[in-house]
Amino acid sequence: MSTLDNMLEEINKAESIVILTHENPDGDAVGTGLALYGALKQLGKNPDIIIPEYSRTFAFLPGADEIKKESDIEKYDLAISVDCATIKMLNGFANYFENAKVKISIDHHSTNTMFGDFNYVIPDAPACAQVLLVVLEFLKVEITKEIGTCIVAGIITDTGGFKYSGVNAETFEFVAFLLDKGVNVSKIYRQVLQIKTKANFELNRIASNRLEFYEDGKIAYTYITKEDEEAVKAENGDHEGIVEVGRDIEGVEVSVFIRQTDKGCKVSMRSNDYVNVSDVCLLLGGGGHIHAAGCTLQCTIEQAKEKILRQLEAVM
């Protein structure tokens, strides 16, 4: 039996199913999770989707009002993780996954540790939502406008609006297919990439003013503090996109953005051509993609900056 055959069998058997994704989920994680949620309901299941916190940018997605922060079910028959490379990235709600009778991972990260009983991982796919579309076609799920909207949101988010190098012909074929289903691609594009909250705008301005350059301008670095977020009354997700500020400057190969949190420093890295930031972040306990990765460091912003620059200077 193939992995997809096994997944179909487990979904059919399961009485209780939970959908999970990584902490601080982006549009690919939320969109993929909600698309799977809608698909499972179409298959006659009554799944839970648990995402404790996510950006209000994605509140427009169909099914978002049914997302739960937690569950009183201790042991699900089936747990499905989407867009998550390691069980560690599930963080505080990994217990729902670990306690489940059967575990499935659907992902597109090359660093995926295959932590499920069944793993469907396509590292060449530019978004997990694109992987899910293949899964749903195998499950013979009707791709409705609602499911398609969630998938497009995921694809647009993780491809930066189709501008990253991982985009392939299949990406555009899938989007064309979803356009035919009535999905408003241009509206979703504007919603997830162009519209900014006032707090996000203010944080971008603060981060832009703090930009520093290293290695003859090949590294751009900036940061925001907890105090910055408090001052602009930021909500979850209002820091999204700040790492792109440095990436889009001429001559910059790697952009580094540090966000101070109660748990330490959340680091986001982006590269343009030749630096594999996933490898760099792996050395720091994180991971991701060749041109987009991150990690969490339990130290001050200055200490985090020093560690990161030391690793980057070795590969520049």
User: DSSP of 243-260, one letter per residue?
Assistant: THHHHTSTT-SEEEEEEE
User: What letters, b where the CB count within 10 A reaches 16 and e where it falls short, cover 82-92?
Assistant: bbbbbbbbbee
Identify whether residues 117 and 85 lie together within a single domain: yes
Q: How far is CA 295 from the centre of its chain?
A: 13
CA gap 9, 21 in Å, rounded: 22
CA gap 48, 37 in Å, rounded: 8
Q: Can you read off the two tokens belonging to residue 310?
A: 């030391």
The structure's pTM equals 0.89
Mean residue pLDDT of the chain comes to 94
Identify whether residues 33 and 172 lie together within a single domain: yes
How many percent of the chain have pLDDT more than 70? 99
| pLDDT band with cut points at 50, 70 and 90 for residue 42 | very high
- Check pLDDT > 70 for residue 91: no
| pLDDT band with cut points at 50, 70 and 90 for residue 88 | confident
Identify whether residues 55 and 186 lie together within a single domain: yes
Identify whether residues 111 and 158 lie together within a single domain: yes
Number of separate domains in the chain: 2
pLDDT digits over 221-260, tens only? 999 999 999 999 999 889 989 999 999 899 999 999 999 9
Q: What is the CATH number of the domain that holds 241?
A: 3.10.310.30
**What number is the average pLDDT over the span 129-136?**
97
- Look up the domain containing 244 and give its range: 198-313
| pLDDT band with cut points at 50, 70 and 90 for residue 101 | very high
